[in-house]
Structures are given as C-alpha cells and as structure tokens.
Amino acid sequence: MSLPRLRRRELPDATIARLPQYIRCLSQLENAGLRTVHSADLAAHVGVSGAVVRRDLSYVGSYGTRGVGYPVSELRDSVNRALGLATEHRMVIVGVGHMGRAIAGYTGFAERGLRVVGLFDIDPELIGSKAGNPGSEVLEIMPLADLAAFVHTNDVAIAVVATPASAAQSVADLLVDAGITSILNLSAVHLSVPDTVVVRPVDLATEIQILAVHAAARGRR
C-alpha cells in the first residue's frame, strides 16, 4: 500500500493541473462509446505532447499498451483517485468583491472535487447578501467574526484570500488561527504564515507584467 501513496504525494503541480483536463476528455470519450484512447488524442485535447501525457499518466499508475492505448474508464478512475475526487475539499472565500465573486460563481469546482461552502467579508453592507453561482450554489455572505466557528464546524481546510492588499495579512492570521492549512492568496502581497500552512500566491498584475517584459524583449530583438 505504500507505493501508490508515495506516487500520489509526488504528483508534480503541472501534472495536477492537467489531470482535470484528462478527466473531462475521458468522460466525453466514454459518453461517445469509445473504450480506448491513444496518448496522442489526449495530448491534442490538452495542448501538450504525447510524451507529456504518458509521463502524467505514469504518475497515476497508468501506462497504456503500445498500439492500443489506454482503457478509457479505468484511466478515468485512476485519475479520479489521484486527485482525491472521492473526498470533497471544502473551501471558504474571504473578500467578496469582484474577484471573490468570480471564484464563488465558478461552475467547474464540482468536477474537481472542490466546493465553496462559505463566503466572508468585513463590509457590513455585504453581510447577509448573497453571491455564488445561481446554477448550483448561492451562499449568504457572513461576517469575519463567524469565520473560526464556521471553519471548525464545517471541516474546511482551504481558504481563498480575495481581499485588498491592506487586509490580507490580518485575514491570513485569522484563517491560520481558525485551523486553515491551505491558502490561495490573490491579494498581491506576501503572507507570513507558520510552516504548517501552505500559501499559493496568484498575482494577476504580475502575470501581466511578465507578459509585458517578454513582449518588450521580443520587440527589441
């Protein structure tokens, strides 16, 4: 039992990022009645090479057969297991401005085993109003004072920080005190947290700046 565990723990981030795309493709193929698929077909769907697909799938313990390909439904099960989709990963969003609402309204979380269960803000005018995706789940915005109890009661491990930069660190402190161990940080400031907490920063302005610097470099060539 230790080998699959080890494998799962070592999934590279880039592989994790592509696995849901394989699942989506495999579900379509299954619905269309196909039983096997070649790595080249998955590769075309995801926009990577066949070699990348084969390496990704080797991480989830699937190797395919030369000339035949991969069995569609078994492969989908393997990818599901690797992503832990049997478990529901519950998350809260703190900061319900445009960015928080964009995430709250995202319709693709369920297929990834993710679920937004709570929305929090400090603005009294927002508290009690609703946000989310009308197609699936609409949630009432709660005050930050309720965060710790909510996280504890609802077994939440993941939080999205979508506050202005000025509020982000104090929100992170609250989240850590509440027992959150994984934070997606959209606030564009560095968050100081204990070593036991994982922060994944996404700074859209920086992403655009990287594009701009490369564009300028291309222009100079």
Write the CA distances from 83 to 13, 34, 52, integer angstroms: 11, 23, 18
Find the binding residues for a copy of itself in span 64-83 (CB under 8 A). 82-83
Please, which residue, 138 or 212, has the CB nearer to a copy of itself? 212
Please, which residue, 75 or 82, has the CB nearer to a copy of itself? 82
Q: How far is the CB of 213 from a copy of itself (least distance, A)?
A: 5
Report the distance separating Cα 142 and Cα 122, nearest Å: 8
Find the binding residues for a copy of itself in span 159-218 (CB under 8 A). 160, 181-184, 186, 188, 190, 192, 198, 200, 202-218
Q: Which two tokens stand for residue 186?
A: 């959209």
Binding a copy of itself (rule: CB under 8 A), the pick from 36, 38, 106, 178 is: 106
In the chain, the amino acid numbered 37 is: V
Binding a copy of itself (rule: CB under 8 A), the pick from 157, 170, 177, 179 is: 157
**178 with 147: CB under 8 angstroms?**
yes
Helix or strand (DSSP H, E) at 220: helix 204-220
Report the distance separating Cα 204 and Cα 116, nearest Å: 21
Report the distance separating Cα 48 and Cα 55, nearest Å: 11
Q: Which residues bind a copy of itself (CB under 8 A)?
A: 5, 8-9, 11, 13, 16-17, 20-21, 45-47, 82-84, 87, 89, 91, 97-99, 101-103, 105-106, 108-109, 112-114, 157-158, 160, 181-184, 186, 188, 190, 192, 198, 200, 202-218, 220-221
